[in-house]
Every structure is written in C-alpha cells, then in structure tokens.
Amino acid sequence: MGPDVFEELREELGIGSPWEARGDGRWVEAGDLDPAAVAARLLAREARFVTLTATPTSDGGFRLLYHWDLGGALLSIAILVPGARVASIAAVCPAADWVEREVRDYYGLDFMGRDDTPPLMLREGDERALFVRTQALGRDADPADTARRTGSGPAAQPPAAPAAWSGEPNAGGDDDPDNGGGPRR
C-alpha cells in the first residue's frame, strides 16, 4: 500500500497533523476528531478495527488510541477527550462493542449513542471505573478489593472457608462428616 493512500485518508478524515511512519505502523494525533466518523470512513475502505487503548490524562480526560488495520498497515489514531464521554463507534463497527464495555468497566468512560453499555469484565450492579477507584486508594491497592467495595465503605470480605479446610491438625479429621469420614488427603 503506497504512502498516497494514507495521505488521501488523512485528508478524507480531516486530520491536520501528518502521519508519523514508524516500525510499528503509522501514528497520528487527531485532536478532538469524532471517532464514529473516522470509523465509518475506515470501514468503507475495508479497514479492520484492532482495538482501543484508553489512557487517563492528568486533567481528568482521556487519550484514546484507536488502532486500525488497513491492508496490513497498523494505524494508531490518537483522540483527546476532555471529560469522561465520547461518541461510541459500536453502531457502525460491531467489533468495538466489547472494547467499549471493557473500557467503561475499567475507567468509567461513557460511550454516547449506545442503547446500553452492560458490564463486560464486571458483573451487573458492580460500580464501574474499577481501575480509577482502585487508583484513588493508592498505587498498591488491589482491584479485587475495590470490586468488593460499595461507595466509600470498607471492602466486603469473601466468605470464610469451613474450619475443616484450615489445615489445623484437629480441624475436621477422619470422623468429621464434612470430610467424608475417610482418611485425610
């Protein structure tokens, strides 16, 4: 695929910055471009959606890298989002459905234009933005603990194991009905 194709595409998408051609594909900073419009143009050229990399920025927004494959060339198109809302591309690009749900689970980013955004890695009813909430608790906080928290309350503890599993010499034992009454293994 010749360089003209990428220049044509850049003009078509209305991106002012030039592509940066590197060993790992072509990169471009596209400012606040509408990702749905970009998706529609790329899909018309039979480009394949690779994935979306969301990175929170220090001002409370996000840098979204939309990765596309165009005839074997990897295009990484960076879009800056000032807040926690961005246009969804899932309606025009079904391949983005799970990625948007995953990004919402991790970072709480809302994808506008979707009928709903059910959780993917989290469960129905879980608080979203797992990584953002965990980050707020400190660098070494554990997302597993955060997932069990509701609001600002303490983390709920998982159910305790039965006493027979504790490994204590006298816990359970051969006569314990929970241990099947047989020898311990």
Partner 1 sequence: MSPVIPVGPYHPALEEPYKIELVCDGETISDSRITVGFNFRAIEWLAERKNYTQDLALVERVCGICSNVHTLTFSRALEQLAGVEVPERAQHIRVVVHEAERLHSHLLWAGIACELIGFQTLFMTCFALRETVMDVLEAVSGNRVNYAMNKPGGVTRDIPDPAAVIAAAREIGRVTSEQLVPVLTGDPTVRARCAGVGVLTREEALAWGALGPVARASGLTQDMRRAAPYEIYDRLDFEVPVRSEGDVLARIVVRALEIVESCRIIEQALDGLPAGPIDCGDFLRIPAGEACARIEGPRGEVFYYVASDGSDVPTRVRIRTPTFHNMPTVALMVAGQQLADAPLIQASIDPCYSCTDR
Binding site for partner 1 (CB under 8 A): 22-25, 43, 46, 48-51, 53, 55, 65, 67, 69, 71-74, 76, 93-95, 97-99, 106, 119-123, 130-131, 134, 139-140, 143-144
3-state secondary structure of 151: coil
Shortest Cβ 119–partner 1 spacing (Å): 7
Q: Please give the structure tokens belonging to residue 100.
A: 């948007």
Q: Which is nearer to partner 1, 88 or 134 (CB)?
A: 134
Q: Which is nearer to partner 1, 117 or 134 (CB)?
A: 134
Residues 6 or more apart in contact with residue 48 via CB below 8 angstroms: 68, 69, 70, 95
Q: Which is nearer to partner 1, 13 or 95 (CB)?
A: 95
Shortest Cβ 167–partner 1 spacing (Å): 25
**Whole-number Å distance between alpha carbons of 39 and 33:** 11
**Whole-number Å distance between alpha carbons of 27 and 22:** 8
Q: Please give the structure tokens belonging to residue 88.
A: 């969804």
